[in-house]
Amino acid sequence: MSESLPRVTDPDSYRALCQSLVECENAENLERAEVLRAMVDAAAFGECPDCQDDDRDGRRMDCQTCGGDGFVPDNCEVSGVALTLDNFVEEVKVDIEAFAADYRKQHLANPEQFPLELGADNAGLWTEFFMDFMTRER
């Protein structure tokens, strides 16, 4: 994440930013889209965990969590508070334990699709599963 980018904390600005990003992508203005995407990533908002900004079947419009915006304030980051290594390690521990618990639950429901052991060739998949879990949760 680049430090020089302004952090968008206003919902209206964020909405406008997202719209500009889509417009740039549609116009294949990739250089500008890249800058805008970095700003979207750095902004104090994230995709709504309820409707996932999914507009099909009016899901987003009816969403109570985000009120139809498709995004919610990002509470994962506390602005202005430095993160120590210990805090970071704590956070990762919480995340990885949540992942393990979630995976075990899925394993019980569907052991074939969620094996508790991956072959040596596939061991890298654990990282992938964890990343999937993290992006799904946020």
The contact set with Zn ion (CB under 5 A) reads 48, 50-51, 63, 65-66
Of 33 and 72, which CB lies nearer to Zn ion in the complex structure? 72
Of 19 and 65, which CB lies nearer to Zn ion in the complex structure? 65
Of 43 and 63, which CB lies nearer to Zn ion in the complex structure? 63
CB of 76 to Zn ion, least distance (A): 17
Q: Do 8 and 20 form a contact (C-beta atoms < 8 A)?
A: no
Q: What is the rounded CA–CA span in Å between residue 84 and residue 82? A: 6
Of 35 and 44, which CB lies nearer to Zn ion in the complex structure? 44
CB of 62 to Zn ion, least distance (A): 9
Q: How many degrees, rounded to 5, is the angle at CA 107 between CA 104 and CA 110?
A: 155
CB of 19 to Zn ion, least distance (A): 17
Q: Please list, in sequence order, all residues whose beta carbon lies within 8 angstroms of the beta carbon of residue 53, skipping any fewer than 6 positions away.
A: 47, 60, 70, 71
CB of 22 to Zn ion, least distance (A): 18
Buried b (16+ CB within 10 A) or exposed e, 7-21: ebeebeebeebbebb
Q: What is the rounded CA–CA span in Å between residue 44 and residue 77? A: 8
